[in-house]
Amino acid sequence: MSAQPGSVRFPNGFLWGTKTAAYQVEGSVDVDGRGPSIWDTFSHHAGATRNGDTGDVACDHYRRMDEDLDLLAALGAPAYCFSVAWPRVQPSGSGALNQQGLDFYRRLVDGLLRRSIVPVVTLYHWDLPQALEDAGGWVSRDTVGRFSEYTRIVAGTLGDSVRMWITLNEPWCSAWLGYGTGEHAPGVRDHGKAAAATHHLLLAHGEAVNVLRATIPNASVGIGLNLQPVRPATDHDDDRAACHRVDGNLNRLFLDPIFTGRYPADMLEHYAGLQPGFDVVAEGDLEVIRTPIDFLGVNFYFPITVCAPARRAEARAAGYWIPETERRGRIGDLDAVQVLRAEVSRTQMGWEIEPAALTEILVRVRDQYASLPLYVSENGAAFDDYIGPDGEVHDADRIAYLDGHLRAVLDALDAGVDMRGYFVWSILDNFEWGHGYSKRFGLTWVDYPTGRRLPKSSFAWYRQTVRANGLER
């Protein structure tokens, strides 16, 4: 694929895009009939988010949609992935639909198509209607049926114009940060509930695939998983066992059922006896979960390294850094400690920067699971951006991050992986969940008090990359 001297090129038809999620950008949470979501409730709890930030206004995208569409057109990336807010479409998560909510997404899709931008729709990016949470949320099997009903409504409305669908974005986060560690909405801390939520989310995904196929004959349907290589700090058996557990929870708990129709035996054993837990699995569920998909979306940010808790001292001696506040968020109750490599640069999130880890996970999916089309459905970084004296944001570190990860995609292509596209997270700075507005991932700076958009240097860089369909060598 590397044809022209001085540059490396992506295959023809490689789909370039950017991505957002409803609660992170829309704002206007109580207008036009929208109901409350778990993130409205959670973000208003004292201490739940940095500075008490909420998505009440966010980027005000609901009201500035036309301006944002023009921004996307100026970027020139041929695709844009957004999520539909379930509580806008069905304010209480079931029954009557809210036409005004649907109209917003209709206008968004029409606006994209008018600008020749391919719309990619995520059905669920974490904003469960609060009424459904009150009835048990993802711990309850009923939510699966509600999600099918919601999918039918959205597919029935947008299916004539949208071909590419992502059922769920990062169900690991919904289940394990939402119901396990409580860092995300709905803020529950119960690993059994997280296990039950995992299963119901996956079942909802499988059922939604069937609904989408039945409603939209030419639909291309996938799911977006947050995947990350997990490595042991040392070769010691206990570190390797910790690594296997963390990999089981983060990666295999989702990849195995989707591609093989089985939960990993070691994970079932690890969570055995919890009620609720994986005891919610009913006969036939796994067949639904393994319903074939057309593509897998891989959301990639960073790899992680772990050691066994009793081996912290050895990990330190081997040169790893263990922060005062240990990073347990990604690990939950897995009897493991995340360690950091002192020599590896990190983003503002504290996430290690290692593009080769993206190639590694893409190759692993192909080798261990399926050689289906893959998209990098999210990749990007938060850095300490600021507006310089010249009035511009010179985010060279973000450009370097994106450049490095795109080269990692090229390496995956060279290794024969069926890579079809790449979506930057995100077109706009936005509400970064528990971190509020303190972390900026955008190609575009958002001045929150005024809503003003200011494209950063990375915006121009990405526009050029998309236009060239490649990178300078």
* 8-state DSSP, 34: P
In the set 133, 207, 378, 432, the catalytic residue is: 378
Compare residues 185 and 242 and give the one whose CB is closer to ligand IFM. Answer: 185
Tokens at residue 339, please?
A: 């360690």
360 is catalytic: no
Q: How far is the CB of 311 from ligand IFM (least distance, A)?
A: 29
Interface residues with ligand IFM (CB under 6 A) are: 21, 24, 170, 299, 378, 425, 432, 441
Please tell me the distance from the alpha carbon of residue 3 to that of residue 356, in angstroms, as a whole number. 22
170 is catalytic: yes
Q: How far is the CB of 226 from ligand IFM (least distance, A)?
A: 6
Compare residues 98 and 122 and give the one whose CB is closer to ligand IFM. Answer: 122
Q: How far is the CB of 431 from ligand IFM (least distance, A)?
A: 8
Compare residues 97 and 428 and give the one whose CB is closer to ligand IFM. Answer: 428
Q: How far is the CB of 24 from ligand IFM (least distance, A)?
A: 6
DSSP bridge pairs for 295: 222
Q: How far is the CB of 99 from ligand IFM (least distance, A)?
A: 27
Compare residues 170 and 360 and give the one whose CB is closer to ligand IFM. Answer: 170
Please tell me the distance from the alpha carbon of residue 254 to that of residue 275, in angstroms, as a whole number. 20
* 8-state DSSP, 175: I
Please tell me the distance from the alpha carbon of residue 245 to that of residue 266, in angstroms, as a whole number. 8
Please tell me the distance from the alpha carbon of residue 445 to that of residue 184, in angstroms, as a whole number. 25
Residue closest to 57 by CA, chosen among 469, 430, 459, 453: 430
* 8-state DSSP, 300: -
Tokens at residue 156, please?
A: 């029935």
Residue nearest to ligand IFM (CB): 21
Compare residues 151 and 299 and give the one whose CB is closer to ligand IFM. Answer: 299
Tokens at residue 171, please?
A: 């169900």
Compare residues 62 and 423 and give the one whose CB is closer to ligand IFM. Answer: 423
Q: CA angle, 287 as apex, 285 and 288 as ends, to 5°?
A: 65
To the nearest 10°, report the CA torsion of 24, 29, 32, 37. Answer: 90
Q: How far is the CB of 80 from ligand IFM (least distance, A)?
A: 15
Residue closest to 246 by CA, chosen among 224, 266, 273: 266
Give how far Cα 324 sits from Cα of 152, 246, 303, 315, 373, Å: 48, 21, 20, 14, 41
In the set 26, 170, 207, 352, the catalytic residue is: 170
Which residues are known catalytic residues?
A: 170, 378
